[in-house]
Amino acid sequence: MAGELTCGIIGCGVIAPAHIQGYQAIPGVRVTWACDLIEEKARQRAAEYGIAHVTRDYREVLGNVDCISVCTDHGSHAKITADALRAGTHVLCEKALAATPAGLRMMFEAHARYPYPIFAAVFQHRFDAEIRYLKELVNEGAFGTILTAGMQMRCLRTEEYYRADKWRGTWDKEGGAVLINQAIHFIDALAWIMGGIEAVQGTYTNLTHNGVIEAEDTAVAMVRFRCGALGTIEATCSSNIDWEPTIAIHGSRGAVELRHGKPTKIEFENEEVAARVRDGFAACAVPSSVRSAIRSYYGEGHSAQIADFVDAVRHHREPFVTARSARHAVEVVFGIYESHRTRKWVEITSAV
């Protein structure tokens, strides 16, 4: 079949099925390799999804497939991605792109030297209809002058969660904790909707996970957006609420708040605009049949994102979420960590 593609999954843990199912839903796409340092995990995924080849060494996969999904801990993303780009393999890398600024640099230096392969990064919430619609409203100026915009991530990650996988909550393998893992989805969404963050100043602490994780379980930051508006980032994984993301935009002519991606506030000075916006959000409702089969809070975006990545590879075009653009949210998170240590504002130079 024209456009037939083979894919390898590197890292066969929690998120791997979202990728495998995404690829297997596309005609002409086959997942041919399952790779995990723990061979048993790769074997298990291979058996579940009918994947022909299994290995512990991702380098064996690189010469044998068109593209890979990198689904390992954050600390290993950079080396796997750089090796793949060097081998001419297209890469879809899970968030967060890297655990350290040095890891990020390694990836982008490799892509600068080997620009042919497509290099895409997962931020599946950019495919959520409500997030896209909110961005459209910002772009058309519906809010007037945007004054403040912010995100909150309140969730619960227990001691058992962190103890189950040794990389979680460490600086070298995860690159942090709640900011770089859970909050980053909505830091990215907020930055993308608003057209980018210019500078951050923040602080973090560990309130309920002392002796469990090295990094933060609670963090806040002030934000200066490129458009001039100010904002806030607030995140905790010590809440009694399992998962609650909020994004709010407040302008001189109106305000919208999304909680769990659904509008909880739509207020505009002009009632016709308010009615149009209410209708716009109502039209975003997604049928439940396409919701993530893995965990509901991953959202509906993985299958859309993988379909876009495959199309980008087939037509050799830019993916909807380029790694270049996904770098921005990672740099915002690194900026908050740096600002905590230096007690200074940190400029963010990358574009979203």
Ligand X SMILES: NC(=O)c1ccc[n+]([C@@H]2O[C@H](COP(=O)([O-])OP(=O)(O)OC[C@H]3O[C@@H](n4cnc5c(N)ncnc54)[C@H](O)[C@@H]3O)[C@@H](O)[C@H]2O)c1
Q: Which residues bind ligand X (CB under 6 A)?
A: 10-15, 35-38, 41, 58, 71-74, 76, 94-95, 122, 124, 165, 181, 298
C-beta of residue 77 within 8 angstroms of C-beta of residue 53 = no
Query: Hey, what long-range contacts does 262-267 have (CB within 8 A, 24 or more apart)?
Result: 262/130, 263/130
Residue for token digits 């940190």?
346
Nearer to ligand X, 93 or 146 (CB): 93
CB of 163 to ligand X, least distance (A): 12
| Position of minimal CB gap to ligand X | 13
Nearer to ligand X, 27 or 63 (CB): 63
CB of 184 to ligand X, least distance (A): 8
CB of 10 to ligand X, least distance (A): 5
Nearer to ligand X, 58 or 186 (CB): 58
Q: Which residues of 311-345 are buried (b: 16+ CB within 10 A; e: fewer)?
A: ebbbeeeebbbebbbbbbbbbbbbbbbbbbeeeee
Residue for token digits 């090295």?
214
**What totals of helices (H) and strands (E) does the chain contain, helices first?**
12, 14
CB of 35 to ligand X, least distance (A): 5
Residue 305's CB is within 10 A of a number of other CB atoms, namely 26
Measured CA to CA, the distance from residue 324 to residue 124 in angstroms comes to 15
Show Cβ contacts of residue 39 under 8 Å, excluding neighbours closer than 6 positions. 54, 55, 56
Nearer to ligand X, 30 or 173 (CB): 173
CB of 260 to ligand X, least distance (A): 14
Nearer to ligand X, 13 or 101 (CB): 13
Nearer to ligand X, 71 or 277 (CB): 71
CB of 228 to ligand X, least distance (A): 31
The residue type at 90? H
